[in-house]
Structure 1
Amino acid sequence: MRTRPPGIDLSRRDLTLDLSRVVCVLFVVVVHLLQVGIGPDSGGGLVTSRPAEQEPWFDAATWVGQIMPLFFVVGGFAGAAGWASWLAKGGDATGFIRLRTLRLAQPALPLMVFLAVVLTAVTVAGLAPDLVAAAAVGAGMPLWFLAAYLICQAALPALVRAHRRAPVATVVGLTAGVVFVDVLRFSTGVSEWGLLNLLFVWPLIQQFGLWYADGWFDRRRPLTLVAIAAAGYATLWPLTVWGPYSTSMLGNLNPPTVPLVVLGLSQACLLRVCRPALARVMAWRASRAAVFVLGSRLMTIYLWHLPVILAVTGVALLIPGAAPTPSSPAWWWTRPLMFVVVIAVLLALSAVAGRWETIRDLGPVPPPVVVAVAWLCAFLPPFAVMQWSLNVWFAVGGAVLLAVSVVLLRGTRDRSLASVS
């Protein structure tokens, strides 16, 4: 039986990272609540807008509000622990990638089927094409995460091994890749070159999670970590003012760019600085219960939150006075209530859809080529939506590909292997 990599303590679960993951996803829900504006205009028709992005403070707010790099840092820590545990059970890279892919593809399948059915129905019914297109784009917005995370999870075994052999060289190599792709993209003016940074930016940020897992951040003094974070944020200013990058961190998201790496390192430092305070929060039983409930349904909450936001908004439009004009004072004041309603609906929905997050009754690990094909089938739908936005054809095709991925990964049912999940 193989031994676990050094530096990973399987007996100690860091509850502050569980809290961080939950906060990250809830913060994404809040941000999207402020970005999706559908309501009546002055003439009695419907208007769609992105209210938060119209505000003068929005770009600056994204320097704090863009927390997805932190999610990948935490994912790196969790992935390192998961890989160590898998090795300790005698597992290999193929089995690990199979499970990690299935944990993303299986919860995404019912969402993609739902989107395919709804978009097909409204297209056949001939509903307002512009409104349907805007709603489809909004519903598909979070799916980019699946494409990026699938890459990171597939690369994690190799990156953990590289981290053990040459941690500094691994980070330097990935950083060089990020910079090279950005130089190529901006020097040629071909934005598609930036897609190559899916292979560098998010795995590099995930690598910070491996450094977090082996204690590098623990060994730094809080003032040192604060100084690193401050230097990172200071670096964003010339990168976005004099450099080619957007002043909005959302504008640097797809394709991902250098500023996200800087932001990820800064957030990793601040996470460690805040760890004592987060630990005190997690000392409360109520906090642990809330994190457990939300954390066990986190993928469902993330994947379904925008469709739920759109659905709740649609119901509000049917109630006289319940849907204020986007960007109006009444619209802003109703956002907290909308958040409560959306979370309540998501929790109710997760009682059904959340079952797809549970992996059990798996067959033997398929051959590597089958896992590779299944991974590609899971990767292509979110990548297509990220690059070209969601439409009825991508939804239907995505549902088919995700179904193929899940079937290939699950294999022949064998209850004796259920415990590996």
Structure 2
Amino acid sequence: MTTAATTSSSAAPAVPPGRDLVVDLARVFCVLLVVAIHVMMVGVAVDSTGAVVANRPLQEQSWFPLSTWAGQIMPLFFVVGGFASATAWAGARRRGDDAGDFVRGRLLRLARPASAVFAVLALALAVAALLGADPDLVDVVATGVGSPFWFLAAYGITQVLVPVMARLHATRPWATLFVLVVAAVLVDAVRYGTGVTAVGLLNLAFVWLFVQQLGFAYADGLFRRTPRVVLLVVAVVAYAALVPLTAAGPWSDDMLSNLNPPTVPLMVLGVAQICVLSLVHPALSRLMSTSSARAVVFAIGSRGMTVYLWHLPVLIALLGFLLAVGGPLPQPSTATWWWTRLPIWALVIGLTCLVSLATARFERPPRALPAGRRRASWWLIGAAAVLAIGPPFDVMQEGLDLRNAVAGAICLPLAIWLLGRSRPAVTAEGVHRPAQAQAEAVGPTDVARKG
């Protein structure tokens, strides 16, 4: 894999040796595309009776399902997340950290920014209830605002299992991929055969762990070593396979519908997307050799989790402000509405970056444990994982409401507190061993380093 040379300029931070800037670019692209899709998906206006109505203009378009074959980039998100997880785990092992140290750090990097969002949303929903806001409208708004939280649950599951999956990748990579594919196919077969959608929740593990494995392979250089013609053929075959899968199979041709619970087509899409990324890697690497591109990517990437978690609350707040002051709100799906999506998208990104000024500390790497102390026991880490993943999982299933917003506002800080517990670090010789900092980032802000 070609990497950009280490440079230093006033416009962008210096690039650490071995860092794959294309992974940073891919992650930022994914986040910005998610924001753009949501900006086009949220339509708010006032009808002839003066009532506020909301709809989803993007999903009402006849071409929307086919557009999701390109626009559904969450598989790529998990691929680059797998790359970063593999390199972070390799770095942790070099420092002498164990699996518990690694999982602790990754959970903290998810729970800390999410806790702030849950607290604000719990307060907002409580105020709305006290003010007697229309329950139906609040429900629609809250459900939309909470829709990105599924990522916290799915990504949290994959992060907890990184040490195990990395071991399987190192020892039996192809067998691991095969087992995950078979398991995902069986889950979907039972789900669609019985009509019990809840069975599909098992694929939160199988589908996303498969895509994570692709990221591990990317970190190992598999796609760099693969001839470009083979990458092209695999990408074409993968996209072509979606036609019979969605036409004759039980799966929807709308990749958004295939997201929660995740289904087999997302695995196929992940294969296609990593092949495409590998094909365009040289061109993107040249782009990232420019200081201006690096400055933009690093600026967005350093606050990626904030942008991802806060963009919908910011968008809803912006629309609410325009409603309150009688500002311009074109009717959704009209030509004027579509033309205003680009400035609204840019405004949401800008406002979210302003939010990051107040929330930046939540995206910083966790503090190292004091010298002579080590991380909490696996029992406490396990309990913290349940507390951190549970509320987002509940939101994914039920939609956001006051009950699970309050649950998140309580459970996530408790998870952070448990992960901050420590115990004396004593080696077999009775010497205190300094704790290691968990400095790697997670999710949208993962550090993209080659192992």
TM-score by length of 1: 0.95
Counterpart of 2:359 in structure 1 is 353
Matched, 1:372 2:378: no
Give the counterpart of 1:173 among 179, 184, 202: 179
Name the CA shift for 1:233/1:420 in 2 (closer, same or farther; >3 Å): closer
Give the counterpart of 2:87 among 81, 86, 91: 81
Can you list the C-alpha shifts for 1:174-233, whole angstroms capped at 9, x where unaligned?
111101100111111101000011110001001000111111111112221111111111
Contact in 2 for aligned 1:229/1:265 (Cα 8 Å):
yes
Residue 418 of structure 1: CA displacement? 7.6
Contact in 1 for aligned 2:109/2:366 (Cα 8 Å):
no
Residue 42 of structure 1: CA displacement? 3.6
Can you list the C-alpha shifts for 1:350-369, whole angstroms capped at 9, x where unaligned?
01112101133343310011
Secondary structure of the residue that 1:246 maps to in structure 2?
Answer: coil
Counterpart of 2:77 in structure 1 is 71
Can you list the C-alpha shifts for 1:309-342, whole angstroms capped at 9, x where unaligned?
1011111223435111111221111101101110
User: Given residue 293 of structure 1, which amino acid in structure 2 is its aligned partner?
Assistant: A
Contact in 2 for aligned 1:86/1:96 (Cα 8 Å):
yes
Matched, 1:200 2:210: no
Contact in 1 for aligned 2:242/2:268 (Cα 8 Å):
yes
Give the counterpart of 1:396 among 382, 386, 406: 406
Counterpart of 1:230 in structure 2 is 236
User: Given residue 14 of structure 1, which amino acid in structure 2 is its aligned partner?
Assistant: D
Secondary structure of the residue that 1:326 maps to in structure 2?
Answer: coil
Residue 417 of structure 1: CA displacement? 5.1
Matched, 1:105 2:115: no
Residue 33 of structure 1: CA displacement? 0.5
Give the counterpart of 2:311 among 285, 297, 305: 305
Residue 412 of structure 1: CA displacement? 5.5
Give the counterpart of 1:277 among 278, 283, 307: 283
- In 2, distance between residues paired with 1:377 and 1:392? 17
User: Given residue 390 of structure 2, which amino acid in structure 1 is its aligned partner?
Assistant: L
Counterpart of 2:192 in structure 1 is 186
Contact in 1 for aligned 2:368/2:436 (Cα 8 Å):
yes
Counterpart of 2:7 in structure 1 is none
Q: Which runs of 5+ in 2 are unaligned?
A: 1-15, 425-433, 440-451
Contact in 2 for aligned 1:77/1:210 (Cα 8 Å):
yes
Residue 124 of structure 1: CA displacement? 1.6
- In 2, distance between residues paired with 1:367 and 1:11? 34
User: Given residue 282 of structure 1, which amino acid in structure 2 is its aligned partner?
Assistant: M
Secondary structure of the residue that 1:387 maps to in structure 2?
Answer: helix
Residue 293 of structure 1: CA displacement? 1.0
- In 2, distance between residues paired with 1:332 and 1:43? 24
Matched, 1:31 2:41: no
Give the counterpart of 2:24 among 3, 8, 18: 18
Contact in 2 for aligned 1:374/1:404 (Cα 8 Å):
yes
Greater helix content: 1
Can you list the C-alpha shifts for 1:4-60, whole angstroms capped at 9, x where unaligned?
xxxxxx951100000000000000000000111111224432110000000001000
Can you list the C-alpha shifts for 1:68-116, whole angstroms capped at 9, x where unaligned?
0001000111110000000000000011000001100011001000000
- In 2, distance between residues paired with 1:239 and 1:361? 47
Can you list the C-alpha shifts for 1:237-278, whole angstroms capped at 9, x where unaligned?
111111111110000000000000000010000000010111
Residue 413 of structure 1: CA displacement? 11
Contact in 2 for aligned 1:361/1:413 (Cα 8 Å):
no
- In 2, distance between residues paired with 1:109 and 1:320? 33
Matched, 1:255 2:261: yes
Give the counterpart of 2:124 among 98, 118, 137: 118
Counterpart of 2:169 in structure 1 is 163
Contact in 2 for aligned 1:228/1:269 (Cα 8 Å):
yes
Contact in 2 for aligned 1:185/1:193 (Cα 8 Å):
yes
Counterpart of 1:382 in structure 2 is 392
- In 2, distance between residues paired with 1:148 and 1:256? 10
Counterpart of 1:4 in structure 2 is none
List aligned pairs for 1:144-155, cutoff 5 A: 144-155=150-161
Name the CA shift for 1:122/1:50 in 2 (closer, same or farther; >3 Å): same
Contact in 2 for aligned 1:51/1:327 (Cα 8 Å):
yes
Secondary structure of the residue that 1:200 maps to in structure 2?
Answer: helix
Contact in 2 for aligned 1:236/1:259 (Cα 8 Å):
yes
User: Given residue 272 of structure 2, which amino acid in structure 1 is its aligned partner?
Assistant: S
Give the counterpart of 1:47 among 31, 50, 53: 53
Secondary structure of the residue that 2:222 maps to in structure 1?
Answer: coil
User: Given residue 409 of structure 1, which amino acid in structure 2 is its aligned partner?
Assistant: L
- In 1, distance between residues paired with 2:395 and 2:86? 29
- In 1, distance between residues paired with 2:380 and 2:201? 25
Percent identical: 46
Of stretches 118-127 and 405-414 in structure 1, the one that deviates more from structure 2 is: 405-414
Of stretches 32-41 and 250-259 in structure 1, the one that deviates more from structure 2 is: 32-41
Contact in 1 for aligned 2:125/2:401 (Cα 8 Å):
yes
Counterpart of 1:264 in structure 2 is 270
Residue 304 of structure 1: CA displacement? 0.5
Contact in 1 for aligned 2:105/2:366 (Cα 8 Å):
no
- In 2, distance between residues paired with 1:351 and 1:187? 49
User: Given residue 189 of structure 1, which amino acid in structure 2 is its aligned partner?
Assistant: G
